[in-house]
A and B are shown apart, each in its own frame.
Chain A
Amino acid sequence: MEPAEAEFLAEKELVTIVPNFSLDRIHLGDLGPFNPGLPVEVPVWLAINLKQRQKCRLIPPEWMDVEKLAEIRDQERKEDTFTPMPSPYYMELTKLLLNYASDNIPKADEIRTLVKDTWDTRMAKLRLSADSFVRQQEAHAKLDNLTLMEINTIGTFLTQALDHMYKLRTNLQPGESAQSQDF
């Protein structure tokens, strides 16, 4: 799956906006009535579109706050395994919201740094885990609390690498009906 696809899926998440126009309920997936000044929850794709047309103000999700993110980052650094993330799409949402609505998000620069720090820690753990997985020639592994984007980053590489290694391993055993796998 491409990162763009993961981002597309992330856009279905709900976020709160404060519109400056009024509109009744739309049945494009049940979008609530819009009244100027009253917060309403909409999917991210709509929120970004409205923001670009100057029709609303975005409210950052609760977890997008400097203190909370600092806590999460520190927690991640302490643990060896993956800690649960505030949202399965935390990376995509951060990127989208900070790109299009950074003027609605206080201390946007710090938030960007904190999220990046957390991401880096998790990726390091992922690499470590993949490394030990290969070294110990495990058959399967269980990783909790990974998000889709992280899985994507390592997924293709890992599966192809394992494939290659399997081929190399089978070829090491001579004589046995070495039927090479056609791909």
Chain B
Amino acid sequence: LLFLQRVLLLVASDVDALCACKILQALFQCDHVQYTLVPVSGWQELETAFLEHKDQFKYFVLINCGANVDLLEILQPEEDTFFFICDSHRPINVVNVYNETQIKLLVKQDDDLDVPAYDDIFRDEEDEEEDSETESDGSEPSDKRRRFEEEVIERTMKRRQRREWEARRREILFDYEQYEYHGTSSAMVMFDMAWIMSKDLNDMLWWAIVGLTDQWVQDKITQMKYVTDIGILQRHVSRHNHRNEDEENSLSIDCMRIAFEYDLRLALYQHWSLYESLCNTSYTSANLKLWSVQGKKRLQEFLADMGLPLKQVKQKFNSMDISLKENLREMIEESANKFGMKDLRVQTFSIHFGFKNKFLASDIVYATVSLMESIEKEGPETTNFIKALDSLSRGNLDKLHQGLDLAKKQLRAIQQTVASCICTNLVISQGPFLYCSLMEGMPDVKLFSKPVSLCLLSKYLLKSFVCSTKNKRCKLLPLIMAAPMDVEQGTVIMVGIPPETESSDKKNFFGRAFEKAADSTNSRTLHNHFDMSIIELKTEDRSKFLDALVSLLS
């Protein structure tokens, strides 16, 4: 089918989408399928790209965009255009689910979609027509009169039934669409597809791992889902990488190997110094309360407890004494338990190739996010996307290292911003939610004009806030974070994240809430991002928007 047709790939701007894109590109290359790649960062770009290309392409593949809206309504495509959507955003719009011809969704079979039944939401329009037609039947007047009465009764009953059905439908749809969450990572779905076609490679497996890790880093999936998916990937990893144990047939050192690790969740620690990593990882920074003087003392105690001299710990990790590095993971875990940090180790994977290159999946995620959202403007808008995409290939180590450096800067900026927000009490409770707004003059504030960075900042801020406040009620509140987006145009970007609890199901209701608040206040907003819980608005409209939200959610 696809041999003679070209395909247009529309890819959203998040790491999971980039990984899924890499896998798909590799599959396309194997089969010589011609494609055009268009990165899109929001609905507007999606629509523009579609309008530009709709005459030349009949097949569109959308990665991490398009599932949660009525796509056909927005794009108004021709009858013979086909859309393949591989999107981890949930809930999937009901029209997309039940469309049988033009929209094809790529979902994993056991992904629980909870879609309402067809009959509950769709109803044929023909029922109404029949009612009005039975009026004009010529017959005797008395009969006619009786039949007329019967008809009136029938019609009222039908109308009542219809109203009941509609009310139930609204309820069902409201429940279905109220909370936003994420399903299986698109990269994993793509890898699954490759596996079914028997074209899966170690490279693709690595991208699937990075896609899943991106979901974990950004807190988009529950802990249980993460562990389940890790298990699935682990089976694939053993299948592809078992030759490493076999001495007889061992692989060349240049070949890529993936290994399962139960490693520390300290961000970038193998490419930084242990000290910096401890300070700039949200888990340790929040639990030790590193924004306070007391917190810093606790960190010293923590290090002393493990017997790690400060001088060693502040060096580059690779230069640390080997004797100290030997049992590092177990030592840190033991001490961390004493200090109230029980989850310092996490199941993940690492990649090895050549003699020097070893990376954890989370390292790659941080590096790619920083490359993608880098604020340095060089060249056309898509260069950052392409750079980030390239850095995922093993041949482009220089880009990866660039990404790692940018990631370090970003993590430091996040921690410093979090520290200053907490110390200056910038996080205030508005009743149903917490609110924090970044001022224009704050250092590094430009970094947070991008959605993924702002989301990371918000999550880390909420974690730290929960550890710092004594107010029990505040600990259970969700957070809305605002940051200046474009100073010239006077816009602000706002992000809403669900509350930070142990057993959070990561479901986010801010998407609908933002929509309603925007409507009711006539604010000039732009719901441009594929994640509905991110919204842009004019700075002047901010306060009335917030007031509307408060009254909506109280």
Contacts and interface: CB of A to CB of B under 8 A. Distances in A.
Contacts, number: 30
A55 B251 contact: no
Contact of B30 (A55, A103, A105, A108): A55
Nearest to B30: A53
A102 B30 contact: no
Given A54-B199, A54-B201, A103 B29 contact: no
Interface stretch (B42-50, B82-90, B252-260, B284-292): B252-260
B255 A102 contact: yes
Contacts of B250: 106-107
A54 B254 contact: no
Contact of B252 (A20, A53, A55, A109): A109
Contacts of B255: 102-103, 108
A81 B76 CA distance: 78
Contacts of A112: 252
A31 interface: no
Nearest to B248: A106
Contacts of A108: 251-252, 254-255
Interface size class of A (residues with CB under 8 A): 10 to 19
Contacts of A55: 30
Interface in B191-217: 198-199, 201
Contacts of B198: 20
A138 to B, nearest CB: 43
| Residue of B31, B251, B252, B255 with most partner-chain A CB within 10 A | B252
Interface in A58-114: 98, 102-103, 105-109, 112
B201 A109 contact: no
B253 A109 contact: yes
B489 interface: no
Contacts of A107: 249-250
Nearest to B29: A53
Contacts of A105: 252
Interface string B226-269: 00000000000000000000001111111100000000000000
A82 B294 CA distance: 76
B252 A102 contact: yes
A102 B199 contact: no
A103 B252 contact: yes
B249 A106 contact: yes
Interface string A105-137: 111110010000000000000000000000000
Contacts of A54: 30, 199, 201
A54 B197 CA distance: 12
| Residue of A20, A102, A103, A105 with most partner-chain B CB within 10 A | A103
Contacts of B253: 109
The 6 nearest A-B residue pairs measured at CB: A108-B252, A102-B252, A106-B249, A53-B30, A109-B252, A54-B30
Given A102-B254, A106-B248, 9 more contacts: A53-B30, A54-B30, A54-B199, A55-B30, A103-B255, A108-B251, A108-B252, A108-B254, A108-B255
Interface of A: 20, 53-55, 98, 102-103, 105-109, 112
25 contacts: A20-B198, A53-B29, A53-B30, A53-B31, A53-B32, A54-B30, A54-B199, A54-B201, A98-B252, A102-B251, A102-B252, A102-B254, A102-B255, A103-B251, A103-B252, A105-B252, A106-B248, A106-B249, A106-B250, A108-B251, A108-B254, A108-B255, A109-B252, A109-B253, A112-B252
